Amino acid sequence: MKRFNIFFYLVLFALISGCESTVPKVPTADVVIVQVNDIYEIAGVNRGKEGNLSRVQGLVDSLKKIYPQVLLVHAGDFLNPSLIGNLKDEDGEKIQGKQMVEVMNAMSFDAVAFGNHEIDLNYPTLQKRLNEMEFDMISANLLFKDSIGMRPFRQRERSISGYKNFSVKTESGIKTLSLLSVILPYNLKNYVHYEKVSAAIQTNMVGLEEKADGVFLLSHLNREEDNIMGEKFQNINLIMGGHDHYNFCDTVGGERYVTKADANARTAWIHYVSWNDASKEFLSKPVLIPINSAIKKNAEVEQVIERWNQFASQKTSVQGYEMTNVLVNIDRPLDAREESIRSQQTDFGKLICEAMASKYDTADAVVLNSGSIRYDDLILNALTEGDVLKALPFGGGIKGAYLSGADLLRVYAASEQNSGSGGYLQVLQFPKDISEYGMYFVVTTDYVSFGREKNLEFMKGFEWEQPEDLAENENDIRKILIQYLGHSASRQANTFD
């Protein structure tokens, strides 16, 4: 595809994609901020057609040829989950975000927020990743906690700050723009403490009154909470957020915005920021731009990505997988987003349950713990073996057992208790109604059958059996789904209803 001259490309999208209808034909700015969030795939998605961090850096490179100051920021979620992150290196250690750190180190990130998925890692691994980073993490409300007490996390032998200041050259002289960051208290681990979001913002805003001419928020909150913060803190004119995986731009009064890009860098927000001397504030004009083949890749970043892709291809090939093999074409997105799959029934969850059921002559119900699904995105256009590996990185077998109707209803009740966590169950049920006095053959994952899921510890008390016609080394949920899709290649997504 022919690559546009970046200047005309940006002007085109300024005309049609601005958060306001009055975006100028030729954007002017004292500083430009490129915002991305929730990135788990270094090489992009949709078979490489969208995203790719080398394109993000390519966009920044092009903007730097036009504007005197360009900042690149990330609103959190990048160390986990991913297929590569669950592979092991030559020493037998899981990669756990090392690939993302190396790629981001090759880029020009100026400030990065913590997301809830960074806290997926245990403390020693997270600290190791922090020490490897050559870019600055910031958070005003996330603290490290141990037996001694609570204190900021450390990065490269210094305490991580709640904000980062940038000097911006304007027609009225040098002004200071501060980026302040907060994270939602979603991932509760014994080594972290979360200060209340609004209290942390308020405390830092008071401290920044004499240090900064303006404050923007780099947040990892949900959309509702971001809007609440925008309404509450009227002197924060821009909230660049993460956590939600779809793009939007909400107006929270005047020229004040909340923006989020699509996950995995399918899109990025370009904020054209200028100092308004009359109102004494920084104002932003946000423009959404797709990250695709129209943007030239940065060669240095692409080289790091390619090295990690080769690593993944080699490791998965040894296991008998072909990453790019298309299993089935789909005509609408399959929802594998964590926020969906951990609180409601989804088409992708049902598809996996169908595959599990196919390995037994009789299956009255299938229950799949949503925590085993780690894709955390929409699957578009085609489902590949690589998608399956990314979605189910832990693998593991399946088992079946007879449960009384009372016990099966108990399973469903536990699932509702677990809503919002990995213990929420994706369910496939064949009998229309369940009688507490009946007996039902139930299929689930090894993990659930061992009683390891919260509120489902009683599941280890049943007599579970593996599929009869499946060799032990083939009893892997990833292989089961790939085989099922391979036998159903002509089916479209709308047949998975």
Contact 329, 381 (CB under 8 A): yes
pLDDT in tens, 328-339: 999 999 999 878
Q: DSSP letters of 79-106?
A: SSS-HHHHSB-TTS-B-TTHHHHHHHHT
The b/e string for 85-116 (b: 16+ C-beta within 10 A; e otherwise) is bbbeeeeeeebbbbbbbbbbebbbbbbbbbbb
Q: Which tens digits make up the pLDDT trace of 87-108?
A: 999 999 999 999 999 999 999 9
Does residue 16 carry a pLDDT above 70?
no
pLDDT of res. 19:
65
pLDDT higher than 70, residue 171? yes
Express each pLDDT in 216-247 by its tens digit: 999 999 999 999 999 999 999 999 999 988 89
Q: Which residues contact 183 (CB under 8 A, 6 or more apart)?
A: 76, 113, 114, 115, 116, 139, 141, 142, 194, 219, 220, 221
Assess whether pLDDT exceeds 90 at residue 487.
no
SS3 of 180-206: the string is: EEEECCCCCCCCEEECCHHHHHHHHHH
For 442-467, what is each residue's pLDDT tens digit?
999 999 999 999 899 999 999 999 99
pLDDT for res 253? 82
Residue 17 pLDDT exceeds 60: no
How much is the average pLDDT of 1-8? 46
Helix (H), strand (E) at residue 227: helix 223-232
Which pLDDT score, from 0 to 100, does residue 355 have? Answer: 97
On the question of pLDDT at 298 being above 70, the answer is yes
Q: Given this model, what pLDDT does residue 9 score?
A: 52
Mean pLDDT computed over every residue of the chain:
91
Please say whether the beta carbons of 132 and 98 come within 8 A: yes
Determine phi and psi for 368, rounding to 5 degrees: -125, 120
Q: What is the mean pLDDT of residues 261-273?
A: 96
Q: Specify the pairing of strand 214-220 against strand 192-194.
A: unpaired
Alpha helices in 240-328 (DSSP H): 299-318
The stretch 22-51 carries a mean pLDDT of 86
Query: Which domains, and CATH codes, for the chain?
Result: 6-306 (3.60.21.10), 323-496 (3.90.780.10)
DSSP state of 401: E
Q: How confident is the model at residue 489 (pLDDT cuts 50, 70, 90)?
A: very low
The CA distance from 97 to 262, in Å, is: 20
Query: Looking at residue 21, what is its pLDDT?
Result: 39
Estimate to the nearest angstrom the gap between the alpha carbon of 352 and the chain centroid.
21
The better pLDDT of the pair 19, 22 is held by 19
- Give yes or no for residue 12 having a pLDDT over 70: no
Query: CA-CA distance, 24 to 21, in Å (whole number)?
Result: 9
Q: What does the chain come to in residues?
A: 497
Token code pair at residue 442: 């139930």
Mean pLDDT, range 395-419, rounded to an integer: 96
pLDDT band at 159 (very low <50, low <70, confident <90, very high): very high
Confidence of residue 3 (pLDDT cuts 50, 70, 90): very low
User: Between the CA of residue 387 and those of 41, 131, 335, 407, 479, what are the distances in Å?
Assistant: 11, 30, 12, 34, 12
Q: Are 235 and 283 in contact (CB under 8 A)?
A: no
E strand or H helix at 165 = strand 163-170
Tokens of 418: 């677990």
Instruction: Examine the pLDDT at 155 and tell me if it is beyond 50.
Output: yes
pLDDT tens-digit series, residues 342-401: 999 999 999 999 999 999 999 999 999 998 998 877 888 889 999 999 899 888 999 999
Question: Does position 257 have pLDDT exceeding 50, yes or no?
Answer: yes
- Of the chain, the percentage scoring pLDDT greater than 70 comes to 93
Strand-strand pairing, 142-145 and 192-194? antiparallel
- The whole-angstrom separation of Cα 113 and Cα 264 is 16
Nearest Cα to 99, choosing from 20, 22, 37, 43? Answer: 43
Task: Find the mean pLDDT for residues 24-51.
Answer: 89
- Residue predicted with more confidence, 410 or 421: 410
Three-state SS at 474: helix
Confidence of residue 320 (pLDDT cuts 50, 70, 90): confident
- Say if CB 397 and CB 475 are below 8 A apart: yes
Rounded Cα distance, 138 and 124, in Å: 19
Report the predicted TM-score, pTM, of the whole model to 2 decimal places. 0.84
CA–CA separation, 224 vs 491, rounded Å? 38
- What local confidence, expressed as pLDDT, does residue 324 receive? 87
Q: What is the pLDDT of residue 15?
A: 40
Asked whether 392 and 339 are in contact (CB, 8 A), the reply is: no
* Span 415-452, pLDDT tens digits: 999 998 889 999 999 998 999 999 999 999 999 999 99
SS3 content of the chain, % helix, strand, coil (to 5): 30, 25, 40
What pLDDT, on a 0 to 100 scale, did the predictor assign at position 115? 97
What is the pLDDT, as a whole number, of residue 14? Answer: 46
Provide mean pLDDT across the span 263-274.
96
Q: Is residue 2 scored above 50 in pLDDT?
A: no
pLDDT tens-digit series, residues 114-124: 999 999 999 99
pLDDT tens per residue across span 179-218? 999 999 988 899 999 999 999 999 999 999 889 999 999 9
